Structures are given as C-alpha cells and as structure tokens.
Amino acid sequence: MQTASSGGALRNPVQQDAYRKPNQSLRLFRPRLEDSHLAIRSPTSAGALTAMILVFGSLLPGRDLLAVDAGRAHEAWPATVIRVRDGDSLLVRTGGRDMEVRLADVDAPERGQPHADLARKALIDLLQRRDVTVEVLDTDRYRRKVARVHRRPDGLDINAEVVRAGNAWVYRRYVRDQSLFALERIARERRVGLWALPEDQRVPPWTYRERDRKRPN
C-alpha cells in the first residue's frame, strides 16, 4: 500500500518509516556484515539463489495461468477454443482450465439483433476446436479476459478478421488498434456481412444494449 506525503509524492510504508526514523532505516536497509544470518556472503551465492528461484519457478504447473489470473497485460498463452459464445466471445481451455475470452477492440451484434446468429456461425467456422494464441490486454467487469486472438498455426488475427468480414463493429469506446477502422470502412463500402442489412437494422451493439437497459420491464 502506498501513502501520500505532504508534497504529493507516494511512499510505501517502509519508505515512510525510513523518512521519519533515519536511524532505524539504517538497520532496515543496511544490515551489518557481522549479522551472518542476514548478510549474503558473496555475489556468487546471490546469483546461485536467483538461478534456483528461476529454475523452480519455471517448473511450477500452470505458471502462465497464474500470470493471466493476476491480470498482467500482454501476457500471451496457447489455448484451445472449446465453445463460441457469440460473435465476439469464446470459451477456451488452457493448462487444464476453462477461461472466458472477449475479443478486444470489436463488438459483434447482440443476441436478438439482425446478423447475430450469422456472426456467431462465422466465428465458429473460424475457431471451433482450433488452437489459438491469446494475448491478454485487460479483464472486463464480467471477469472475461479481453484479448487479441490469433489462430494457430496460420496466425490469422481473429479480431481483425471479424471486422474485415463485416461480422463486428470496431468498438469505439475501447478500441486500441486504430487500423481496424480502415477494415470496417472497406467492409461497409463492399456491403459485406452486417453492412448488407438495411440501414435501420444496422444498430451498433452498444446502442442496442443502452436501449435495452432503458426499456421498461
């Protein structure tokens, strides 16, 4: 935990204690060499200790999953697609565990919207029971991993593909990859996928969800 000083800078509790008690900080940060149970005897022993930690850490089962669970951005890991939920969300299996994944930067039609079933079918054709690489960018409020997904072994960028095929909008509110706007514009001009629908049926999913929330029960 960090605390704010009067100047606005952040200090953790140890730093704050050192700031107030210089004599005590000397003991905290500079153990005496004669305290053999505290001192590291040589650089060689320090290096050996570090190497041992790295080796044993690499042998731990599911260590990539631990990193994903911690929400580390840009953590990439292999997985197999078990189920396609809809046009932009998947259930994948990695390291013996199932995990929900939401495609980053894109938004496919919601269930009940025109083209929703076709968007889901298109994603099934691309990914069902296929191996993928998942690059985690964030975790959403439903605890899904928001990610870029690449199919293996051909490396197809699934997030870009669903936009290119006209099966999803670029998600304006959360988009990171600005190159997706060019793919959406081309799909619109070619009238592929959802862009072939009459204009009054091409309602962005975020607008549809907002209307649904405001609809009286």
Cα separation, 127 vs 80, in Å, equals 9
CB 25 within 8 A of CB 32: no
Cα separation, 165 vs 120, in Å, equals 12
CB 132 within 8 A of CB 92: yes
In the three-class reduction of DSSP (H, G, I as helix; E, B as strand; rest coil), residue 117 is classed as helix
Backbone angles phi, psi at 27, to 5 degrees: -70, -35
Q: Which residues are catalytic?
A: 102, 110, 144
Of the candidates 119, 129, 121, the one whose C-alpha atom is nearest the C-alpha of residue 93 is: 129
Rg over CA atoms, the chain: 25
CB neighbours of 146 closer than 8 A, spacing ≥ 6? 101, 102, 103, 104, 136, 137, 138, 139, 140, 174
List 133's β-bridge partners, or say none: 78, 150
